[in-house]
Amino acid sequence: MTKYLIRRILISFPLFIAITFIVYALYALSPGDPVINLVGYEAFLNMGPEELLKVRQQYDLDKPVYVRYYRWLTRAVQGDLGYPYKYKGTVVDNLKERIGPTLLLMGTGLLFALILGIPMGIIMALKQYSILDYILTFVAFANLSVPSFFIGLGFIYVFALKLNVLPTYGMTTIGAPFSLSDRLLHLIMPTIILGVFYAGIWARYARSSMLEVIHSDYVTVARAKGLKESAVIIRHVFRNALLPLVTVIGFSLPQLLGGAVIIETIFQWPGMGMLSYKSTTARDYPMLMGLLLVSATMVLVSNLITDAAYAFVDPRIRYE
């Protein structure tokens, strides 16, 4: 197990370099002049060739892409991600400020999805082809099919504008002191909308995984021994159906730091998702590279955690 984890960690380094270099090159080759984002469009029009050259030299924009990437990478491993074009402070300061809200929203959203989606999938499998199975399947597909922004706008219209029971945006009420109840009220709508989407995904995977196991021979033997149905489902069926669910949940872990761009933008949640949206529209490349660094690291770490979790979920798996 230890050798496997060390090998996977070593493999992650070239993957990380490849991911960051490709995206860095795409940013560098994108249309438009980055100097416009630095000085503004009107100032750009009034600048002469010498002034433009000085700005490009100041930000290394006159260097080849691979040279700029190497300098960015050497600074990044030291914790220096540079300064954003449109925000105050450093890139690291802005990321630190946004990670907390994103972890709060994504953590509660994924937890809500886990509590809702997995039991729903188990019920769908146990009641296969029943009316309840058809209803829950319709609900799961509806959660996946309806766009998140449409559900979010509907929730705002009903619960904020019509019923006036939930706030529409932000983490706290403007001008009000911090309170746990106020924070929970701001969390309800984005958490539900985020959670029902993942719940639909996990419910479908839980149903298919349970159905693959529930008709196995060892399940039939367990029932023949006289075990209670609840013990059969929990010990034999669900435990052996966990591997596909671990994979799907592991793929969702990068969202913990990446944030949900649409949800955070609709509800003006000050997290990584909204920061990513604003940085993209402003073409703030240093900030986007910082966000990419966090996302790429989280993807590699989540894959490593998922692979390690296989051995704990299924004792038959040994990485030697």
DSSP 30: S
Question: Which amino acid is located at 7 in the chain?
Answer: R
If one compares 320 and 95, the residue with the highest pLDDT of the two is 95
The pLDDT of residue 131 is 93
Q: From the CB of residue 115, how many other CB atoms can be counted at a distance below 10 Å?
A: 12
For residue 80, give the 3-state DSSP assignment.
Answer: coil
pLDDT in tens, 292-307: 888 888 888 888 887 7
Distance of alpha carbon 106 from alpha carbon 160, whole angstroms: 22
| Cα–Cα nearest to 5, from 309, 314, 313 | 309
Superfamily of domain 91-313: MetI-like (1.10.3720.10)
Map residue 47 onto helix, strand or coil: coil
The C-alpha atoms of residue 47 and residue 57 are separated, in whole angstroms, by 15
Report field, pTM of the whole predicted structure over 0.85: no
Q: Is the pLDDT of residue 206 over 70?
A: yes
For the stretch 30-62, pLDDT in tens is 777 777 777 777 777 788 888 888 888 877 777
As a whole number of angstroms, the distance between CA 107 and CA 10 comes to 29
Q: What is the mean pLDDT of the chain?
A: 83
d(CA 25, CA 191) in angstroms, rounded, equals 35
Please report how the helices 272-282 and 285-313 are oriented relative to each other, as an axis angle in degrees rounded to 10: 140
User: What are the extents of the domains in the chain?
Assistant: 2-76, 91-313
The whole-number pLDDT of residue 258 equals 61
Phi-psi region at 159: left, alpha or beta (left = phi > 0; alpha = psi -120 to 50): alpha
